[in-house]
């Protein structure tokens, strides 16, 4: 089966482990195990766990973990949750379970490439809904309606949005759900960055709490800072979960038992994790906002949620040339817009340690001096 090269993963993979200042990272400063267990008051975790037999563990995820995940939603129970290998595994399983050759799949662009390339590789006719700067990177409902046809099986969105940090509010979300319902289509809402609302007033419900044919995918990587567990999940109606389970039997037996147990602890203490992470994000966003305001070669629509920002750059280089030159000259790492089919832009992650962000921004500014 042919697949499109996953541009952002290729670019990240080439540089991320060698570069000094990583401003491309989208996770909120991942925990060390020590920091995590201390914050959870579970320093005794391994004393207890080492007596357990390392066998397969629960196929769908342990009941404790699934209950913990379900508690984040209004209408979801343990039986509505399927634990997967990251949100990437959850998204893949959704496409694998629902998309057949000849189906129409509508997906936003720019976005995490998996959200359109996977459906294409399964033989779907993928139609792209282009998000625009002038719409604050939000989907244009009229454009969405125009893309719907009688073969539309799935509409795909991502809220909060990577790479722009835009946020679809409740009213627009309800209207998108209505378009999906009118089309008789499923709605995949990738909610990998859920919970990272800088202002509690901006919190939006999950799409699964609005529409019964919605599938929400979630992650332990970004807002929960447990990237190395490689866990994520699908939340959906029991009917959809059954479809996904039938397909998952061919790709996964169970997730790792240690990962599952640590993730279950995290789910019981979400307030502590979000307190740590939102404090860091808000501090960093303030620094980044002041930097952008004072930098004429860079513009943006300020992000509303998540740990990413999409910067428009005004040098005479392509974004890829700029990012490679920045690595070579300043050992500082950003992702070029070309990885999102958006030349002229750069994606920055600002969830890393504040010292790293400050130093990276300083070096980026020095780098930009040569273009003034």
By CB under 6 A, name the binding residues for ligand PLP: 26, 86-88, 91, 112, 158, 162, 190, 192, 219, 221, 227, 232
Q: Name the nearest CA neighbour of 278 among 160, 360, 169.
A: 160
* Min dist. Cβ of residue 210 to ligand PLP (A): 19
- Between 225 and 313, CB nearer to ligand PLP: 225
* Min dist. Cβ of residue 6 to ligand PLP (A): 11
- Between 69 and 368, CB nearer to ligand PLP: 69
> What whole-number distance in Å separates Cα of residue 174 and Cα of residue 88?
25
- Between 267 and 368, CB nearer to ligand PLP: 267
* Min dist. Cβ of residue 337 to ligand PLP (A): 15
- Between 79 and 228, CB nearer to ligand PLP: 228
Q: Name the nearest CA neighbour of 265 among 32, 62, 60.
A: 62
* Min dist. Cβ of residue 249 to ligand PLP (A): 20
* Min dist. Cβ of residue 97 to ligand PLP (A): 17
* Min dist. Cβ of residue 91 to ligand PLP (A): 6
Angle CA 119–160–22, to nearest 5: 90
- Between 211 and 220, CB nearer to ligand PLP: 220
For residues 209, 211, 214 and 218, what is the CA-based torsion angle, rounded to 10 degrees? -20
Sequence-separated (6 or more) residues with CB below 8 Å from residue 177? 187, 207, 210, 211, 214
- Between 227 and 237, CB nearer to ligand PLP: 227
Query: Hey, what long-range contacts does 266-269 have (CB within 8 A, 24 or more apart)?
Result: 266/36, 266/40, 266/68, 266/220, 266/224, 266/226, 267/65, 267/68, 267/69, 267/71, 268/40, 268/68, 269/39, 269/40
* Min dist. Cβ of residue 83 to ligand PLP (A): 11
> What whole-number distance in Å separates Cα of residue 313 and Cα of residue 309?
12
For strands 214-219 and 232-235, give the pairing: antiparallel
Nearest position to ligand PLP, beta carbon: 86
- Between 288 and 339, CB nearer to ligand PLP: 339
């Amino acid at each position: 089966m042919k697949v499109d090269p996953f541009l952002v993963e290729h670019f990240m993979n080439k540089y991320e482990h060698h570069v000094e200042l990583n401003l491309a990272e989208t996770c909120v400063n991942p925990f060390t195990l020590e920091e995590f267990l201390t914050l959870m008051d579970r320093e005794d975790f391994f004393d207890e766990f080492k007596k357990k037999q390392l066998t397969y563990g629960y196929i769908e995820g342990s009941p404790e973990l699934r209950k913990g995940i379900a508690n984040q939603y209004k209408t979801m129970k343990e039986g509505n949750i399927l634990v997967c290998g990251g949100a990437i595994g959850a998204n893949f399983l959704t496409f694998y379970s629902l998309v057949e050759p000849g189906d129409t799949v509508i997906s936003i662009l720019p976005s995490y490439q998996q959200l359109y390339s996977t459906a294409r590789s399964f033989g779907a006719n993928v139609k792209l809904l282009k998000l625009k700067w002038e719409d604050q990177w939000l989907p244009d409902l009229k454009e969405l309606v125009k893309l719907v046809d009688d073969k539309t099986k799935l509409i795909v969105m991502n809220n909060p949005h990577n790479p722009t940090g835009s946020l679809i509010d409740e009213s627009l979300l309800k209207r998108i759900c209505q378009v999906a319902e009118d089309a008789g289509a499923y709605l995949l809402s990738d909610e990998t960055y859920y919970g990272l609302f800088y202002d509690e007033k901006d919190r939006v419900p999950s799409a699964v709490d609005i529409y019964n044919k919605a599938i929400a995918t979630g992650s332990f990587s970004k807002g929960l800072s447990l990237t190395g567990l490689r866990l994520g999940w699908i939340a959906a109606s029991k009917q959809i979960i059954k479809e996904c389970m039938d397909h998952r039997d061919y790709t996964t037996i169970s997730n790792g038992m240690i990962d599952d147990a640590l993730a279950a602890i995290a789910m019981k203490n979400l307030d502590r994790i979000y307190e740590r992470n939102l404090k860091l994000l808000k501090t960093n966003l303030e620094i980044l906002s002041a930097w952008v305001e004072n930098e004429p070669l860079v513009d943006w629509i300020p992000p509303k949620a998540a740990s990413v920002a999409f910067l428009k750059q005004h040098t005479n280089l392509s974004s890829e040339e700029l990012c490679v030159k920045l690595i070579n000259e300043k050992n500082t790492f950003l992702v070029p817009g070309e990885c999102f089919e958006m030349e002229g832009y750069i994606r920055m992650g600002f969830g890393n340690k504040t010292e790293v962000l400050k130093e990276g921004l300083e070096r980026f500014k020095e780098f930009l001096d040569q273009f003034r």
